[in-house]
């Protein structure tokens, strides 16, 4: 796992996840990564983003960022939490782009 944030990519929001779906995705991600999420991101809204190559990924929205299905967004990739080295910071949306 990376030690600092990296450019994750960009894509289009295709789904805003409800709490049940978000917690199921979180459990799968924690199992895959082998570490718990940094608690600071535990209750954030999550969105599924489809990238230009067709792959989809889950991104966490910062508290003051509002997105809707169809919005274009950039995000940073996950990395080891600097405050809790046994945890990870998830993919986080960084900027809403103007829709074409």
- Which CATH number fits the domain that encloses residue 42? 2.40.50.140
Is residue 32 assigned to a domain? Answer: yes
pLDDT of residue 85: 86
The candidate with the shortest Cα–Cα distance to 77, out of 1, 24, 23, 20, is 1
Give 1's pLDDT tier (boundaries 50, 70, 90). low
Has this prediction a pTM greater than 0.75?
yes
**Count: domains in the chain:** 1
First to last CA, the chain: 34
Is residue 57 assigned to a domain? Answer: yes
Residues forming beta bridges with residue 9, ordered by sequence position: 75
Host domain of residue 48: 7-97
Arithmetic mean of pLDDT, 25-36: 94
Is residue 1 assigned to a domain? Answer: no
Is residue 28 assigned to a domain? Answer: yes
Is residue 2 assigned to a domain? Answer: no
């Amino acid at each position: 796992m990376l030690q600092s944030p990296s450019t994750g990519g960009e894509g289009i929001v295709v789904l805003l996840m409800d709490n049940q779906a978000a917690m199921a995705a979180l459990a799968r991600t924690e199992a895959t990564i082998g570490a718990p999420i940094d608690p600071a991101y535990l209750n954030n809204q999550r969105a599924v983003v489809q990238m230009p190559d067709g792959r989809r990924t889950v991104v966490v929205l910062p508290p003051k960022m509002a997105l809707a299905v169809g919005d274009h967004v950039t995000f940073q990739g996950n990395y080891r939490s600097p405050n809790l080295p046994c945890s990870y910071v998830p993919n986080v949306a960084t900027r809403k782009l103007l829709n074409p």
